Structure 1
């Protein structure tokens, strides 16, 4: 498990090594629950998720940092194309858009009352009315059987 302070220090070190610090780039922590990192070009910030950093290994965190620095180095027009992939590989990051990481459990769970299956977790309360919805577990026969439950901490 990695600490967010160590991750931010390492990210800022890499920003210096690659000449981005002098251009105004900085690392910052955020509270994202569904993505490990983000490259904000206009604000020149590499954002790292504090909750996901705490749940995952140092190696996964380092890969995320290198992934986002590759975005900063190639610029906003490349997303995850071949130019970005080459830079990510050069920096030692896996040249792919997504990775498998542990995420914190959602604060809301959607259950199918018909079969008992957990259909989905949400970090924010969904606005959707599930009264006229069904899940793939029971198909149309599950119509009206979805229940949203708030999970206690």
Structure 2
């Protein structure tokens, strides 16, 4: 897919260990990566969409972000998704699991350093909705 849209040479592809994002376009290294954890959780069509999303970034350039130039480029090459990945993430790999008083679960890959309140229970910070964190014994 990279060769079709970006031409031969120049850009490389690899899998990475990201757990919360699906893909990345690294302009400095001219490299597109896709999360090995997320690829195992989605369909082949979804993986193709992730690749198209990142290829659109490569074609649109480093300053395009998710703006109009990127959106046009993405549509032109067949990307049909949104600007953000909203599929499954590798939450079972998160070493920190938090629970609010209402029972909503939250996952963190880095040690929580400040009090956090559940955003599902209230839009603004509310001390009554504080999340209690526990470190998992071992993660895969």
Q: TM-score range with shorter-chain normalisation?
A: 0.7 to 0.9
Which structure's residues are more often helix, by fraction?
A: 1
Task: Tell whether the 8 Å contact from 1:134 to 1:146 is kept in structure 2 after alignment.
Answer: yes
Q: Which runs of 5+ in 2 are unaligned?
A: none
Task: Tell whether the 8 Å contact from 1:85 to 1:95 is kept in structure 2 after alignment.
Answer: no
Between the aligned partners of 2:7 and 2:96, the Cα distance in structure 1 is 39
Task: Give the structure 1 partner of residue 36 of structure 2.
Answer: 50
Indicate whether 1:109 and 2:97 are aligned: yes
Normalising by structure 1, we get a TM-score of 0.74
Q: Number of matched residues?
A: 132
Normalising by structure 2, we get a TM-score of 0.81
Picking from 66, 71, 75, the partner of 1:89 is 75
What value does the CA root-mean-square deviation take over the aligned residues?
2.2
Between the aligned partners of 1:33 and 1:71, the Cα distance in structure 2 is 20
Shift of 1:36: 0.3
Shift of 1:57: 1.1
Moved over 4 A (4+): 133-136
Q: Which runs of 5+ in 1 are unaligned?
A: 1-13
Shift of 1:35: 0.5
> Which structure has the greater CA radius of gyration?
1
